[in-house]
């Protein structure tokens, strides 16, 4: 894990899941907290080596890989913790994340893992989009849904910490079907990123880029291609295609053969996100027939 200085006040920890840091006088704010205690130990060690304070924590969205180190941090530092509306409910009750992936059912033991359910944390302040001054920090909170219901990226000191609203081109192809909850909202958020003027942006996955908008455009292209792929699969079945069938078809198309239930639930949610996006765009319809969830053009 390497820490990189972006300007006079902004840094980021270049890691599997990036973590931002902003330093203002005797206060320092982390943006996201990594997946577990070991990540946070490394962050604290580097901040202490640089004599940099940590007084605040902002969580962009309530996915386990972005808040897993927060419980450890809260136990060791009196950090003032900020999170988006709705996301904070999951941060306080982490069981909600695997439960919504599992359709609301009680969980099977294999779904109790740090990748989908991490340790709960306290949230001191819940925010929505808009302008905020908290402690020594003044920032703009941008509502960027699509990957998570109420994800918020923050623009501070002319740097955008974008959460998982976009990822590197490499991450798109590595994940094949990158996790989202609503394809139409994802594309809308990506288009919103193109309108933000700043010195550069830090994604959840990938490196800081001053010229990040080209990467954002590649994200839009990738999601539009997957929307078209799903639409084409629906078109091949004039009488309709079931939800279960199209999830299986997409996994076969990308040669995804994971036997893990927790992984499969992520792919099911994402394929559903593309179907939802097409329904919102009025390119397909959704009906229940013979006890099956069916999609038709």
* CA trace torsion 253, 232, 279, 144 (10° rounding): 50
User: pLDDT tens across 249-273, in order?
Assistant: 999 999 998 889 999 999 999 999 9
Helices 261-280, 243-253: inter-axial angle, 10-degree rounding: 110
3-state secondary structure of 176: coil
- Separation in Å, CA 188 to CA 48, 206, 272, 275: 39, 21, 17, 16
> The tokens 């490394």 sit on which residue?
42
- d(Cα 156, Cα 153) in Å, to the nearest integer? 10
Checking if the pLDDT of 246 tops 90, the result is yes
The answer on pLDDT for 112 being more than 90 is no
| Region 280-294 average pLDDT | 97
* CB contact set of 209 (below 8 Å; sequence gap of 6+): 200, 201, 215
The reported pLDDT for the residue numbered 170 is 96
Side-chain-side CA neighbours of 16 within 13 Å: the count stands at 10
pLDDT in tens, 25-84: 999 999 999 999 999 999 999 999 999 999 999 999 999 999 999 999 999 998 999 999
| Tens of pLDDT, residues 195-227 | 999 999 999 999 999 999 999 999 999 999 999
pLDDT in tens, 153-210: 999 999 999 999 999 999 999 999 999 999 999 999 999 999 999 999 999 999 999 9
**What is the reported pLDDT for 1?**
83
Helix (H, G, I), strand (E, B) or coil at 63: coil
CA neighbor of 246 nearest in space, from 218, 213, 278? 278
Asked whether 152 and 61 are in contact (CB, 8 A), the reply is: yes
Average pLDDT over residues 278-294: 97
Nearby residues of 80 by Cβ (< 8 Å), 6 or more positions away: 55, 56, 57, 124, 125, 134, 135
Q: Confidence band (pLDDT; 50, 70, 90) for 238?
A: very high
d(Cα 280, Cα 220) in Å, to the nearest integer? 17
């Amino acid at each position: 894990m390497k820490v990189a200085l972006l300007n006079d006040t902004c840094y980021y920890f270049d890691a599997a899941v990036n973590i931002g840091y902003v330093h203002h006088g005797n206060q320092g704010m982390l943006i996201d907290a990594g997946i577990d205690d070991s990540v946070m130990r490394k962050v604290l060690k580097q901040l202490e080596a640089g004599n940099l304070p940590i007084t605040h924590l902002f969580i962009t969205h309530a996915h386990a890989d972005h808040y897993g180190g927060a419980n450890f941090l809260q136990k060791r530092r009196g950090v003032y913790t900020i999170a988006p509306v709705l996301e904070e409910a999951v941060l306080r009750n982490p069981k909600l994340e695997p439960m919504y992936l599992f359709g609301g059912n009680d969980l099977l033991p294999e779904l109790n893992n740090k990748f989908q359910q991490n340790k709960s944390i306290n949230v001191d302040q819940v925010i929505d989009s808009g302008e905020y001054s908290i402690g020594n920090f003044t920032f703009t909170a941008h509502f960027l849904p699509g990957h998570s219901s109420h994800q918020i990226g923050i623009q501070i000191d002319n740097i955008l910490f974008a959460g998982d609203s976009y990822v590197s081109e490499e991450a798109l192809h590595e994940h094949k079907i990158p996790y989202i909850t609503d394809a139409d909202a994802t594309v809308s958020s990506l288009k919103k990123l193109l309108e933000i003027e700043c010195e550069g942006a830090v994604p959840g996955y990938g490196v800081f880029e001053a010229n990040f908008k080209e990467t954002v455009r590649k994200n839009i292209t990738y999601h539009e291609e997957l929307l078209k792929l799903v639409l084409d699969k629906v078109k091949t079945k004039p009488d309709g295609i079931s939800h279960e069938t199209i999830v299986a078809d997409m996994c076969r198309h990308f040669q995804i053969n994971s036997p893990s239930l927790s992984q499969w639930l992520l792919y099911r949610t994402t394929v559903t996100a593309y179907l939802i996006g097409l329904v919102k765009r009025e390119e397909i319809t959704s009906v229940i027939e013979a006890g099956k969830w069916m999609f038709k053009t």
